[in-house]
Structure 1
Amino acid sequence: MTDQRMLTGDRPTGKLHLGHFVGSLENRVRLQHQYETYLIIADLHMLTTKNTREDIAQVSENARHLVIDSLAAGIEPDRATFYLQSAIPEVMELNTLFQNLVSVPRLERTPSLKDMARDAKKDEMPYGLLGYPVLQAADILCVKAHVVPVGKDNHAHVEITREIARRFNHLYGEVFPVPELVTSDVPTLIGTDGQGKMSKSIGNVIYLSDTEAEVRKKVTGMYTDPNRIRADIPGKVEGNPVFIYHDVFNKNLAEVADLKERYQAGKVGDVEVKEKLAIAINLFLDPMRERRAKFESQTGLIDQIIVEGTEKTRKEVQQVVFEVRKAMGLTGAFNSIRRKAEKYRKANPAAYPVEG
């Protein structure tokens, strides 16, 4: 373990799925042994698209899902610090200070923000959503993270963080490391319906917490080559979601190669291809199910992990905010005013009688 830090996380909008695993979680599991790891439960980010009282009421339960899904996937509780974003108000102070280091046109060039607004069925982009990358910069820099493993959608956001860090350091002195982006080998996983990426809001997902039966049912209903109406018709492998999943999750490479060859020759049906995919995905998820059962059996453990992590992180962030205010001269400004106020009070004791 080095003295360098990793920061990443998720919005508490539901359970994690296979797309989360290949997009970022797999890298988190790998990198936790190389970096001091901070994993954010980003409920303030959630408010940019989900901010009803009903949405907010689900934060605590969804936070538990995020943590237990992460632990089941292989994050070790003694190597990672989970924390709830909204419980650290200093992050919002950093967000306010960073807003002045980036322009509106720069934020408007972030393509994923428009996609998020569209997916949330927003006719107009909320101010908070436009500033999403600025708050994300506050998340990353508040613990002075050196690396950020994220999915494809967040690449542009992390670049804005890098720009803000460089701009702050240029204006006020070296306070922040400029974080590096860690990309995934599978940046985006197509949904089971073949229509865009795997997404909770669309429902085309296989969750890390799905049972064997749920996986089989979802795989059976997966989109495949629409022009292949019989098993003896040669099918397309390239771009076929079923084979994309085989390539990612089926560790039996010889089986995958055989299925592809027979599929393209019209010598295997979709039923067999999907059956073997369901088996492969369940084998992939079985170790997670074992770890999940272990953590779920300890009532209150997940809540304790979140509380301890949040308290630890807040102390770290408070120190960083102190450094930021000092570097900017904000602390000095108020201290100067306070010193003159104290002189005035001493010069006018009748107006300020000593209590007691």
Structure 2
Amino acid sequence: MEAKDCKRKVILTGDRPTGRLHLGHYVGSLKRRVQLQNSGKFDEINILIADDQALTDNWDNPQKIRDNIIEVALDYLSVGIDPEKSIICIQSGIPALHALTFYYMNLVTTQRLSRNPTVKNEMTLRGFSSSEGVNNNEAGLPAGFFTYPVSQAADITAFKATTVPAGEDQEPMLEQTREIVRKFNTTYSRDVLVEPDILLPENETQRRLPGTDGTAKMSKSLGNCIYLSDDPKTVKTKVMGMYTDPQHLNIADPGHVEGNAVFTYLDAFCTDEQFAEYLPEYANLEEMKDHYRRGGLGDVKCKKFLIKVLEEMLTPIRAERARWAADIPEVYNILRKGTEHAAEETNRTLEEVRDAMRINYFDDDAIIGDWEAWINH
């Protein structure tokens, strides 16, 4: 029996605080977190604000991370993350994560890390050829980013998470964690660490929401986001400027819904009930798509419907955000309490790890007897 089979069901998830959260975060993870939180199927849900990991590529601008800690917390609370049911914590305030990262680095080779797709892609972007072992960019790759998968493994195992909700692109990271767990448990002959399972989004649309430009994943750095905290005027402006079908020049022209960001968003967010309320000439999205494909349906009409769909979802989120924003000291207190709880919990894992490695010198005075026996021998 694997160690995790006899353990509590624990979730670990989180985000890097590099900016406000957007619709991509909501459809890809936040909405699911709330559902999991309220399902009653898990013993504990931990949501980590990964500020340490955000510093791996923002090391020269820690103020950016600091500025976004509260922003991310407000976004969590506004979508329904309940601090009575979920632990919201800050990575840098949990010392066990740093110690475990250091120990795990001895269980992973640089060659293995360089094969991790996330690291490999970043190395390519920065001009570093792992296959040739040549750094074509004098700046190189920060060691902190290179060991990012090890840090993530420390996060997951410190909480003894059995489930990690994530996209398919994170599967290599989870496999790296499993390898570290197996290596540790085998090396030290203890089933201390737990192998996590990945929990993928329920449908393909939720796995990768494109940006408003339709060309890439929604990304803060690309400026193609609709943020959860955007006001109605901003949402309208962004939707009206969204990428659709470049060949659909006139209303009468047949249109393509594949690759059309407006229809991708409608796939992700709209319901049949919303058609009945806002656009009753169509029973559902498929009827609307058929009309667009035939020709005779303009982009503006589609976008106006999408605005109503998004506003129905975002209006209560904005209201909840404003409620929490009116009491920032309480938001700060939630983060403090959550981080303290997480520090205590992960310290227990760290103690077990050190015990397995027999480096818990001051908790195991058998070292005295071992030393005396060696001298007498």
Q: Do the aligned residues in 2 keep the contact of 1:152 with 1:188 (CA within 8 Å)?
A: no
Q: Do the aligned residues in 2 keep the contact of 1:23 with 1:152 (CA within 8 Å)?
A: no
- Select which of 193, 197, 200 maps to 1:183: 200
Aligned equivalents of 2:232, 2:303: Cα separation in 1: 14
- Whether 1:306 aligns to 2:335 is yes
CA displacement 1:118-172 (0-9 Å, x = unmatched): 7789953222112111000001111111111123332211121122112212222
- Whether 1:20 aligns to 2:56 is no
Question: 1:42 — aligned with what?
Answer: 50
Q: Do the aligned residues in 2 keep the contact of 1:114 with 1:125 (CA within 8 Å)?
A: no
- Whether 1:174 aligns to 2:191 is yes
Taking a change above 3 Å as real, the CA distance of residues 119 and 73 of structure 1, as seen in their structure-2 partners, is farther
| Structure 1 segment 266-277 matched on structure 2, within 5 A | 266-277=295-306
- Whether 1:82 aligns to 2:111 is no
- Whether 1:148 aligns to 2:179 is no
Unaligned runs of 5+ in 1: 344-356
Q: SS at 1:40's partner residue?
A: strand
Q: How far is the alpha carbon of 1:18 from its aligned partner?
A: 0.8
Q: How far is the alpha carbon of 1:283 from its aligned partner?
A: 1.0
- Whether 1:222 aligns to 2:239 is no
TM-score, normalising length: structure 2: 0.84
| Structure 1 segment 127-138 matched on structure 2, within 5 A | 127-138=143-154
Opposite residue 179 of structure 1, the aligned amino acid is P
**Cα RMSD after superposing both structures:** 2.4
Unaligned runs of 5+ in 2: 1-6, 129-136, 276-282, 373-377
Taking a change above 3 Å as real, the CA distance of residues 301 and 198 of structure 1, as seen in their structure-2 partners, is same
Aligned equivalents of 2:332, 2:302: Cα separation in 1: 41
CA displacement 1:29-69 (0-9 Å, x = unmatched): 111133211111111101111111xx212333311111111
Aligned length: 340
Bigger shift: residues 253-262 or 9-18: 253-262
Question: 1:251 — aligned with what?
Answer: 271
Question: 1:347 — aligned with what?
Answer: none
Q: Do the aligned residues in 2 keep the contact of 1:88 with 1:314 (CA within 8 Å)?
A: yes
- Select which of 31, 35, 46 maps to 1:30: 35
Q: How far is the alpha carbon of 1:176 from its aligned partner?
A: 1.6
Opposite residue 166 of structure 1, the aligned amino acid is R
Taking a change above 3 Å as real, the CA distance of residues 114 and 191 of structure 1, as seen in their structure-2 partners, is farther
Q: How far is the alpha carbon of 1:287 from its aligned partner?
A: 2.2
Q: SS at 2:222's partner residue?
A: coil
Opposite residue 109 of structure 2, the aligned amino acid is S
Aligned equivalents of 1:56, 1:79: Cα separation in 2: 30
Bigger shift: residues 31-40 or 300-309: 31-40
Q: SS at 1:198's partner residue?
A: coil
Taking a change above 3 Å as real, the CA distance of residues 58 and 266 of structure 1, as seen in their structure-2 partners, is same
Aligned equivalents of 1:155, 1:278: Cα separation in 2: 34
Aligned equivalents of 2:127, 2:266: Cα separation in 1: 33
Question: 1:352 — aligned with what?
Answer: none
Q: Do the aligned residues in 1 keep the contact of 2:213 with 2:243 (CA within 8 Å)?
A: yes
- Select which of 293, 297, 300 maps to 2:322: 293
Taking a change above 3 Å as real, the CA distance of residues 308 and 130 of structure 1, as seen in their structure-2 partners, is same
Q: Calculate percent identity across the aligned residue pairs.
A: 39
Taking a change above 3 Å as real, the CA distance of residues 157 and 214 of structure 1, as seen in their structure-2 partners, is same
Aligned equivalents of 2:125, 2:319: Cα separation in 1: 34
Q: Do the aligned residues in 2 keep the contact of 1:206 with 1:215 (CA within 8 Å)?
A: yes
Question: 2:220 — aligned with what?
Answer: 200
